[in-house]
Amino acid sequence: MNATEPKIEELKQRLAEINDVRSAAAVLNWDQMTYMPPGGAEARGRQVATLEQIAHEKFTHPSIGRMLTELRSLERTFPADSDEAALIRIARRDYDRAVKVPPAFIAKFSAHQSATYEAWAKARPANDFAAVRPYLEKTLEYSRELANYFPGYDHIADPLIDFADFGMKAATVRALFAELRKELVPLVQAITAQPTADDTCLRQKFPEAQQLAFGCAVVKQLGYDFQRGRQDKTHHPFCTTFSLGDVRITTRVKEDNLGDALFSTIHEAGHAMYEQGIRRELEGTPLARGTSSGVHESQSRLWENLVGRGRGFWRYFYPKLQAAFPAQLGSVPLDMFYRAINKVERSLIRTDADEVTYNLHVMIRFDFELQLLEGKLAVRDLPEAWRERYKADLGIASPHDRDGVLQDVHWFGGQIGGSFQGYTLGNILSAQFYDAALRASPGIPDQIANGEFTTLHSWLQENIYQHGAKFTANEIVKRATGQPLTIEPYIRYLRTKYGELYKLG
C-alpha cells in the first residue's frame, strides 16, 4: 500500500461532500426548469445561490489547499495515467482557479447574470436591444475583470476559453476556424447554388405524445439508460447530472416541426450517454464529468448528426417513424425524408442551422467575443455589426435584433468569452472520433442500418466515456484517434455526404 493513499482518501471524501452540495443545487435547478410553479422562482434563486456559496467556501477552504500542496509532491509516486495522479492534478487545477477569483466578485457577477437574464427574457420577444444594452456593457466589464484574475495570458479571451476548453487559446481557435472557413464557404456556395430541398413533410402536425414516445424509443436503442436517467419537458433542452446513476435529459416539442424534438432528444442523449458511461470509481470526484465543452459537444453531435441524420440510421428507423405517423408520412418516400432532415440553407438562427452552415454562425459569435473583449467593438455597435457580418457570411440579415444579436442566451446569462467555440470544436471532433471508431470496426455503418448500436457505443465507452475528465481534451483525442485534433475527417464527411445529396461535381 502506497503511504499516500490515506491522504488521497481524505481528499476524495472532502471532494465528495462538495460534490453532494453541488448535485443538490443541480436538482433544484432541474426542478426550476421543469416542474416548479412560477411562484417559487425568487426563493429558488436564493436557495441555489446559498448552496453554491457553501460549495465554493468548502472547496476554497485553506485545508483543501494544504492537502493539495502535500499531495502535489507525492503525485509522482503514482503512474502518470493513474486515477490518483489525475485526481491530484485536476483538483489542483480547479482549486487554483477557484481561489484566484474573490468571492465578492463571484457574488456580484452572479447577481448581475441573473438580472441580465431576466432583462433579456423580456427584451428578446419585445425586440428591444436598448433595454439590455446597459446590462451587456456591464457583462463585458465583468468578463474582462474575470479574465484579469488570470494574468499572463496572450489574449484576454484565453482564460475564459480555457475554462470551457482547457488547453485552447484564442490564437489556436482562430487559426483552426480560419482553416475550416476556407473549406466551408465554397461548400455552402456550391450547395446553395443547387435547388433547395423540400422539407414540407416535416412541417405537418405531429402530436406531442407520439413525438415523445418515438424519441424515447430511439435514444433507448442508442444506449441511453432510462434506469439511470429520465426525460422531461422544458423550454430549452439540456442534460444534467446528479450522480453517475442519475443523468437526465429534457426536450421540447413543436407539433408543427417533427425534426425539433427528435434531433434535440438524440443530441441531449449523446451528452447523457457520455456521463452515464463514466467509470463508477470516479464518482464524486472532479473527474466524474466531461473533459471539455468541445469533447462533450462532440458526443452529442456524433449521435445527432453522424448517426441520427445518416441514411443508414433511417433505413432502419424510417418504417417505424412512418408507423407512428401513418397519415403524415405514409406516402413520403425515405429519400424525400432523408433530404428534408439534411436540408442546407442560409438562415438566421444558429440553433436551427444545418450541419454545413452551423459553424459559420459560431465563428461570427467567436470573433465578436474577441473584438468586444479587445475593445475593438462597442456593445452599442453590436446589432449593426451583427447584421453586416450575417450579410457578408450568410447572405442574409434580420432587421429584428430578436433574430440577430438577441437570439442566444449565452452572453445574457453568462459571460462574454469562451461561450461558443466548443460547438464547432465538437463538430470537428465528432467526425474525427467517428472516423476512428470506423477504422477499428468497419462494420459499424451496416450495424446502424440494422438498428444495432452496441459496437459504436462500446467504442465510445472504451475510448472516451469511461475516462470522464481524467485526460484533457488534447490527450483524449490523441489516445482515441491516434492524432491531434484535425479538421480533415470532418471536411471529408461533409463533402461526401452533401456532395451526394446535392449532386456536386
Active-site residues, by number, are 268
CB of 134: closest distance to Zn ion in angstroms? 30
The residue among 251 and 285 lying less far from Zn ion, judged by its C-beta, is: 251
Q: Name which of 285 and 359 has its Cβ closer to Zn ion.
A: 359
Q: How far is CA 2 from CA 11, 79, 112, 285, in A?
A: 15, 12, 47, 20
Choose among 51, 58, 72: nearest CA to 7. 72
With CA atoms as reference, report the closest residue to 181 among 389, 330, 14.
Answer: 389
| Nearer to Zn ion (CB atom), residue 300 or residue 419 | 300
Shortest approach of Zn ion to residue 71 CB, angstroms? 34
Q: Which is nearer to Zn ion, 266 or 372 (CB)?
A: 266
Q: Which is nearer to Zn ion, 274 or 325 (CB)?
A: 274
CB of 430 to Zn ion, least distance (A): 11
494-500 contacts, C-beta under 8 A, 24 or more apart: 494/184, 494/187, 494/355, 494/356, 495/187, 497/342, 498/187, 498/191, 498/342, 498/344, 498/356
Backbone angles phi, psi at 241, to 5 degrees: -115, 125
| Site residues (vs Zn ion, CB under 5 A) | 300
Q: Residue 172 forms beta bridges with which residues?
A: none
Contact 157, 373 (CB under 8 A): yes
| DSSP per residue, 275-297 | HHTS-GGGTTSTTSS-S-HHHHH
CA 354 vs CA 137, 313, 344, 349, 420: distances in Å: 31, 18, 6, 10, 17
Q: Which is nearer to Zn ion, 142 or 358 (CB)?
A: 358
Helix axes 421-440, 293-301, angle to 10 degrees: 60
Q: At its nearest, how many Å lie between Zn ion and the CB of residue 290? A: 10
- Give the shortest CB-297-to-Zn ion separation in angstroms: 5
Q: Which three cell numbers stand for residue 427?
A: 463538430
Q: Which residue is nearest to Zn ion (CB)?
A: 300
Least separation in angstroms between CB 249 and Zn ion? 11
3-class SS at 231?
A: strand
